[in-house]
Structure 1
Amino acid sequence: MRNRRWFRPAVGVAAALLVGVGLTGPAVPASAANPIITSIYTADPAPLVVGNTMYVYAGRDEAAVGENNFRMREWHVLSSTDANTWTHHGARASIATFGWAGADAWASEVEPRNGRYYWYTSVNGNGPGWMDIGVAVGDSPLGPFTDAKGGPLVSDSTPNSSGLNIDPTVFTDDDGQAYLYWGGYWGVRAARLKPNMIELDGPVVTPSGLTNFWEAPWMFKRNGLYYLMYAANDTNGCVTSSSYACQRYATATNPMGPWTQRGVVLDRVSSTTNHAGVVQFDGQWYMVYHTADAPGGGNFRRSVAVDRLYFNADGTMRKVVQTGGGPGPGPGQPPAGTNLAPSATASTSYVSPWESLAALNNGGVPANSADRGNLVYGNWPEQGTQWVEYTWPSARTVNRIATYWFDDNQGIDLPASCQVQYWTGSGYANVPGQSGCGVAGNAYNVTTFNPVSTSRLRLNVTARSGYSTGLLEWLAFQP
């Protein structure tokens, strides 16, 4: 959860900090874009799916403007049934939940077991040492939560504990065995949990293979393979300044490792810290993380964001595209807004004889990127950069596009990159302020830019080496 700068409030301020902390309140609808909530600042998100609902548990950042310190006293809960529209349920736990706590409601995660919900937290104890891991428990995802143990689960006195006991992640395997991972200051640690979920079951071990681990582990399993994601701050393909962090990940065939480092799945975000969680919800995978992108945000005033996560056929993770619009509608469903594409005439640098340029704006609903149930545009065997273009009889104002890429797993693949251009009246120019042009499969990729008034909009698409590119739909929206 933490990065280069560390500040420890003086012992004794906790009583003053607890004044006015409420643990209940009315549920409030939150934003349907990133960040998903802007009424308060939220950080260190941990997603959990229960039935048809995704919950996100997050700490609250309360630092004042210009304050260079993590001021965190409570944990909040958000929920969604579509991963787009969120309800804020308020604070459901705080440092007051733990009678032995001093201050600092840092990163946490909730794990269900036997009909109960165990909330593992990073909290500053009143005794010797600094950060401890506590456990609260409740009978529903929204609590109420109470201290499950009466003291720390992990502290500095735990044999082989981390240099900083923070950022707990708990994973329960198919056989019912639960595992706890945690740690900061490069000190990743792991241990089994007893069935009661509040005691360690055996020694604390130091996992091997987690290259450049800094903090914020997150554990999950997919198709029999174990994944451990974590914050790293190395400058070897992760970040250019070690004051920031990326999210690396490793895989293993056993939950205790050994681990094989696979690469970066989330680049640096706008805050110095980078803390994320992964969850599968309604058939899709999502990454939940935090940024400094909310109005007035900063390194100590962070906000939770959600975007889609995709996997390659070999099980490796594709790098997440950070968006301002959030994950958007379900697969094949276009983003909301007025789509100008149906009123345009399409043209291209090249279309395969057996494909159709009409696919771009015929209103098809793709099932996935390999879907041939609708018309398909492709430019095989051309490589390098090709273009598609919309022309309107008079100028239109456009400020975003959405692309649903075609990938036939043969000669046409997802592109390497793309660039939106507009006709200025005398030539083509790149649209101003373009966001990252997403190249993920099986979903609409939304690209935003500053509004332009033009009669022609062009999309330059650069192929991966040895491949051509294709599209199932290309949408263009007015503000």
Structure 2
Amino acid sequence: MPFRHRAVKLGAAIALATSALVTPSADASNPIVTSYYTADPAPLVVGNTLYIYAGRDEAAPGGNNFLMREWRVLSSTDAASWTDHGAKANIGTFKWAGADAWASEVEPRNGRYYWYTSVNGNGAGWMDIGVAVGDSPLGPFTDAKGGPLVSDSTPNSSGLNIDPTVFTDDDGQAYLYWGGYWGVRAAKLKPNMIELDGPVVTPTGLTDYWEAPWMFKRNGLYYMIYAANDTNGCVTSSSYACQRYATATSPLGPWRHRGVVLGQVSSTTNHAGVVQFNGQWYMVYHNANAPGGGNFRRSVAVDLLNFNADGTMQRVTQTTTGPPPNPGTGTGPGTNLAPSATRSTSFVSAWENLAAINNGGVPANSADRGNLAYGNWPERGTQWVEYTWPSSRSINKVATYWFDDGQGIDLPASCQVQYWNGTSYVPVPGQSGCGVAGNTFNTTTFTAVTTTRLRLSITSAPDHSTGVLEWQAFQA
């Protein structure tokens, strides 16, 4: 199942764009595209591809209002370089609508992809929520309903019906959250994904909610991020916004406010989504940092998101470089084979997790537990972690990110890469130095070996134990 995430009518002359020039970006950087302006990003992972659905800002330089007429799609296989697939829906997709292609999100269900949008209706209401549907993440998308899913006529609707976020729980029940002007709303969706299933409710506990909800689930806990514009630790001026977050033990709350996860950005609006891709969590948001950018000429950025051991979210560091490439488990030379391996160890502490070593995390530093941590306290001396594959693999390089908790687990004194030769474990041939530096990946190269089992033997410093945050093994 795919992972989640999270101003005038132009008339029928605007048609759905079903094809576009596909242009891969050359280098990883933030914003991720600067040839035009993008806003309100919504990430979605399907297979080995991360998609971002975003509105396009078209306001002229110096403009003081939003001009948004289409939604575009970008994709990446490593969360660092991006391919532009062009516009895949626009306000002409909804014949009943008027204008304003505002925030949207795509949710998969039963092999189809439902694109929930904020669009200006022709009726009395200012903004409505429409739904388009396609058979692939790139469409083509067509109107799924022929009218709004939510409008001002919906009982208990928001003061501004914008910013839909849809979350499907493990039991298959889908939930819709939306709303602006402090008016957050929620409702269940029917299995057809285009009708509400029961009353609209007003969630509680989303402290200082303003707009832009995004919902996801991690380790059995529900998370909601949202834009707030208070000056109580959020922003310096209420003209701007931050991203606060809350958690709950059920999809409809009640919610418990937990703090700020993304601070003030360079645009007045702050709209974000969260997604896990190749084992690493990411925050996708917009700012005004592209050349010529501004409050109505925004651009999408992507940065790493990490969690603390207790499940709280670490505040996102906004960068101009973006995240490092995270190719995951592809095929061919240079592919990281670790995520496809079965892991084992000589010993793991009861409070640590062996899953850390090949879950695809990108640690911020050696003390970062945001994507779990493996440690073998209180064992001393030599311990090991091991990968096993169901059939032989050709491997010529590993990279190790050591765990150092500043207490009983310290950087190792030494290490050695070994492989199973069919009879016993022996050192890999031509092994370069097995590095033990902190706060970085230590790369070890060697003459390619063909094996079903690879082992990292780790010898501790005196009176300490050892640990690993990530151990990568690369196909020759």
Pair 1:14 & 2:5 matched: no
Q: Which SS does the other structure have where 2:101 is aligned?
A: strand
Whether 1:284 aligns to 2:299 is no
Q: Which residue of 1 aligns with 2:162?
A: 166
- The AA in structure 2 aligned to 1:226 is Y
Task: Give the CA deviation at 1:24.
Answer: 2.2
**Aligned counterpart, 1:131:** 127
Q: What's the secondary structure of 1:213's corresponding residue?
A: coil
Cα shift readout 1:171-205 (whole Å, capped 9, x = no counterpart): 00000000000000000000000000000000000
User: What is the 5 A alignment of 1:209-248?
Assistant: 209-248=205-244
The answer to whether the aligner puts 1:84 opposite 2:65 as a matched pair is no
Name the structure 2 match of 1:26: 21
State the SS of the aligned residue for 1:96.
helix
Please report the TM-score for the alignment, with normalisation by the length of structure 1: 0.68
1:34 maps to amino acid: N
Aligned counterpart, 1:264: 260
Residue 95 of structure 2 corresponds to: 99
Q: How many residues align?
A: 343
Q: What is the CA–CA distance in structure 1 between the aligned matches of 2:99 and 2:286, rounded to whole Å? A: 22
| C-alpha distance 16-178 of structure 1, shift in aligned 2 (>3 A) | closer
Q: What is the alpha-carbon distance in structure 2 between the residues aligned to residue 443 and residue 172 of structure 1?
A: 36
Of residues 28-37 and 233-242 in structure 1, the stretch that sits farther from structure 2 once superposed is 28-37
Q: Which amino acid in the other structure matches residue 10 of structure 2?
A: A
Deviation string, structure 1 residues 242-263 (Cα, Å, up to 9, x no partner): 0000000000000000000000
Q: Sort the Cα spacing of 1:60 and 1:366 in 2 relative to 1 into closer, same or farther, 3 A.
A: closer
Tell me the distance in 2 between the aligned counterparts of 1:409 and 1:316: 21
The C-alpha deviation readout for 1:411-460, integer Å capped at 9, x for no partner, is 799xxxxxxxxxxxxxxxxxxxxxxxxxxx9778xxxxxxxxxxxxxxxx
Q: Which structure 2 segments of 5+ residues have no match?
A: 1-6, 329-361, 369-400, 411-437, 442-468, 470-476
Shift of 1:128: 1.1
Q: CA deviation at 1:25?
A: 1.1
Question: For residue 19 of structure 2, what is the amino acid of its counterpart?
Answer: T
Match of 2:112 in 1: 116
Aligned counterpart, 1:143: 139
Residue 88 of structure 1 deviates from its aligned partner by 0.3
Structure 2 residue 306 is matched with structure 1 residue 316: no
Correspondence list, 1:459-470, <5 A: none
Give the CA deviation at 1:21: 7.6
How many Å separate the matches in 2 of 1:122 and 1:208?
23
Structure-2 change in CA distance of 1:73 and 1:367 (3 Å):
closer
Q: Is the counterpart of residue 195 in structure 1 residue 173 in structure 2?
A: no
Distance change in 2, residues 1:257/1:297 (3 Å): same
Cα displacement (A) at 1:26: 1.8
Aligned match of 2:303: 307
Counterpart selection for 2:153 from 139, 157, 172: 157
- Cα distance in 1 for partners of 2:264, 2:56 equals 21
CA distance in 1, matches of 2:58, 2:276: 30
- Cα deviation code 1:82-126 (max 9, x no counterpart): 000000000000000000010000000000000000000000001
Once the two structures are superposed, residues 47-82 of structure 1 have per-residue CA deviations (whole angstroms, 9 ceiling, x without a partner) of 000000000000000000011110000000000000
- 1:369 paired with 2:366, answer yes
Task: Give the superposition deviation at 1:329.
Answer: 3.0
For residues 21-47 of structure 1, the C-alpha deviation after alignment (integer angstroms, 9 at most, x for no partner) is: 844212111352100001110000000
Secondary structure of the residue that 2:92 maps to in structure 1?
helix
1:331 shift after superposition: 10
Q: Does the CA-based 8 Å contact 2:184-2:211 persist in structure 1? A: yes
Cα distance between partner residues in 2 of 1:90 and 1:29: 12
Counterpart contact for 1:23–1:94, Cα < 8 Å: no
Question: How far does the alpha carbon of each residue in 1:288-329 deviate from its partner, in whole angstroms, 9 at most, with x for none?
Answer: 000000000000000000000000000000000000000113
The Cα of 1:369 is off from its aligned counterpart by 2.1
Matched, 1:295 2:315: no
Distance in 1 (alpha carbons) for counterparts of 2:363 and 2:262: 27
Matched residue type, 2:196: L
Question: Cα RMSD (Å) of the superposition?
Answer: 2.5
Is the contact made by 2:145 and 2:194 (CA closer than 8 Å) also made in structure 1?
Answer: yes
User: Is the contact made by 2:78 and 2:327 (CA closer than 8 Å) also made in structure 1?
Assistant: no
- 1-side partners of 2:212 and 2:158: how far apart? 12
1:410 lines up with 2:407 in the alignment = yes
Q: How does 1:452-463 map to 2 (within 5 A)?
A: none
Q: What amino acid is the match of 1:286?
A: Y
SS of 1:243's equivalent in the other structure is: coil
Give identity over the alignment, percent.
Answer: 82
Q: Distance in 2 between matches of 1:254 and 1:126?
A: 36
**Per the alignment, do residues 367 and 94 of structure 1 end up closer, same or farther by CA in structure 2, a change over 3 Å counting?**
closer
One-letter identity of the residue aligned with 2:302: V
Partner SS, residue 165 of structure 1? coil
Distance 1:298 1:52 in 2: 33
Residues 29 and 88 of structure 1 are in contact (CA less than 8 Å); yes or no, is this contact kept in structure 2? yes
Contact 1:124/1:130 (8 A) holds in 2 = yes
Q: What is the Cα deviation at residue 18 of structure 1? A: 5.7
Name the residue aligned to 1:254. Answer: 250
